[in-house]
Structure 1
Amino acid sequence: MTDQIRAISSPKELRARIREGRFTGPTAGHGGEALQANLVMLRGEDAQEFLRFCQANPRPCPLLAVGEPGDPSLPSLGDIDLRHDVPRYRVWRDGELVGEPTDIADLWTDDMVSFALGCSFSFEDALTRAGIPVRHQDAGRNVPMYRTNLATRPAGRFSGPLVVSLRAMPAADAIEAISICERFPLAHGAPVHIGDPAQIGIEDIHTPDYGDAPDIRPGDIPVFWACGVTPQAAITTAKPALAITHAPGHMLVTDIPSSHAERRLTGVHPA
């Protein structure tokens, strides 16, 4: 039996339940005020090119930590084992999605490099404290995410569209959300678009490319943030022989307070 509904406020307890196979769902609303992270894991030269892609696209790919080759830990972010501590992964071969396991110990290699990227779930506590609704959490859903017509900056073979996440809210709250989220550069910062989704290439807001359908109430306006699923779109273009990511909405929950997303973490960036 899995624990998917009761909010788990301790990051360590949440990771323990994930390792035990007792939690396999989206992590929004779990882990208390801990920083959550998107994950990309690549080998050799693919990892070097992807690092340059992150540096060229800091809004969707804010670097929190880069692992040592072959080391599944990220000590700067907590007592973490990346082979077991994500509720659901995605496995890509030659740019094609081939599986969504809950453990990747059998896929880990001694040249694999891990990238932890900031996640918008990390500022949702700040929105909630300000009285701004976070509709997908209230509805018990995964956040809706969409591919757009906005291009990322290419780096080597890595390129592709910007992916965005949606939070619908009253117009007055959207203004305050901008002010709050621009303080969180390591959690994607301020929104990249507000209003008409067609202007950024989203044809049907009720049918996201990833996650669950949005909960949009009368008087709400759509607010879109850069999303850490963007690298998964780039993987389909780059076609590395092997890539492993988190499944959308199923994040790595760290031991770092989410307030740290308001500034650049120390000791986690490569030289």
Structure 2
Amino acid sequence: MTLRAAHTAAADREAIRAGEHTGPTSGLAPGFAQANLVILPADEALDFLRFCVRNPKPCPLLDVTDTGSPHPSGIAADADLRTDLPRYRVFRDGHLVDEPTDVVGHWRTDLVSFLLGCSFTFEWALAAAGLPIAHQVQGVNVPMYVTNRRCTPAGRFDGPLVVSMRPFPSDAVPLAVEISARFPAMHGAPVHIGDPAEIGISDLATPDFGDAVRVGADEVPVFWACGVTPQAVAIEARPSLAIFHAPGHMFVTDRRHDTFDSPGAS
């Protein structure tokens, strides 16, 4: 269902909590940054924190909750991470067991939540510069792919880099790179441009997460590190419980987009 127009991030979260929006969040809550979600037991949290520090491109850390608290006080104090995302994915011992619209029934008092930067945040700047976003134009979720690049491990957390892809005309690619580089807390500049086979992607038409988009004959695929990376890593790490956002179904924060815009960053 399409979300009604709202003036604040809190209003959008309330509507999501009420089940009025259960789809992807690209383009939702104009002006407000979005975030990836990772929830783990406390005994796994320190290693995952190390993983984020060692892999800042796919896992740019925005906030970490207190143990047992579902409230991300640093970026949206009144939010509830158990209910305020459109859809979740729940893994036990590396196996997907549920894809609910809330995780109240899975919540435990030993859980720690991590909020990671999301490339949906710099999409507004790309669009403002006249660069159309293919998945928004085509009305689908952003395509995401597991690559042949490995992350830097931390404890049991080790696995492949996941990327999101947006195609642009070749003459627009330098501008897309320049704009996204201004947002290091939201994955920053692309990690690869051009031939997908060079990073282990055999077919752009079959993404591992999200939906395929049409790539025009004059367009070049551009790949950014993606916050779905922890989900691919969790399949290999096999923690007893891991809860994530469903790919493309992000958490809407109270932070404005432009607070993450850092001209001169690379």
* TM-score category, normalised to shorter length: over 0.9
Q: What is the CA–CA distance in structure 1 between the aligned matches of 2:260 and 2:148, rounded to whole Å?
A: 27
Aligned residue-pair number: 261
1:118-174 per-residue CA deviation (whole Å, 9 max, x = no partner) reads 000000000000001101011111000000001100000001110000000101111
Q: What is the CA–CA distance in structure 2 between the aligned matches of 1:9 and 1:146, rounded to whole Å?
A: 33
List structure 1 runs of 4+ shifted beyond 3 angstroms. Answer: 6-10
Letter aligned with residue 190 of structure 2? P
- The alpha carbon displacement at 1:34 in A equals 0.7
Partner of 2:191: 192
Contact kept? 1:8, 1:30, Cα under 8 Å: no
Partner of 1:217: 216
Distance 1:56 1:16, change over 3 A: same
The alignment-based identity, stated in percent, is: 55
Q: What is the CA–CA distance in structure 1 between the aligned matches of 2:160 and 2:7, rounded to whole Å?
A: 34
Partner of 1:41: 39
Partner of 2:171: 172
Contact kept? 2:47, 2:157, Cα under 8 Å: yes
Partner of 1:61: 59
1:16 to 2:24 alignment:
no
Partner of 1:84: 83
Partner of 1:146: 145
Letter aligned with residue 234 of structure 1? V
Letter aligned with residue 44 of structure 1? A
1:70 to 2:32 alignment:
no
Secondary structure in 1 aligned to 2:12? helix
**Normalised TM-score (structure 2):** 0.95
Letter aligned with residue 183 of structure 2? F
Contact kept? 1:8, 1:32, Cα under 8 Å: no
**Normalised TM-score (structure 1):** 0.94
Structure 1 segments unaligned to the other structure (5+ residues): 264-271
Secondary structure in 2 aligned to 1:115? strand
Distance 1:168 1:215, change over 3 A: same
1:208 to 2:207 alignment:
yes
Q: What is the CA–CA distance in structure 1 between the aligned matches of 2:98 and 2:106, rounded to whole Å?
A: 12
Distance 1:24 1:234, change over 3 A: same
Letter aligned with residue 199 of structure 1? E
Partner of 1:96: 95
Distance 1:26 1:7, change over 3 A: farther
- The alpha carbon displacement at 1:9 in A equals 5.9
- The alpha carbon displacement at 1:215 in A equals 2.3
Partner of 2:258: 259
Q: What is the CA–CA distance in structure 2 between the aligned matches of 1:162 and 1:98, rounded to whole Å?
A: 23
Letter aligned with residue 225 of structure 1? W
Structure 2 segments unaligned to the other structure (5+ residues): none
Return 252-261 or 238-247, whichever deviates more. Answer: 252-261
1:163 to 2:162 alignment:
yes
CA-based RMSD of the aligned residues comes to: 1.2
Letter aligned with residue 197 of structure 1? P
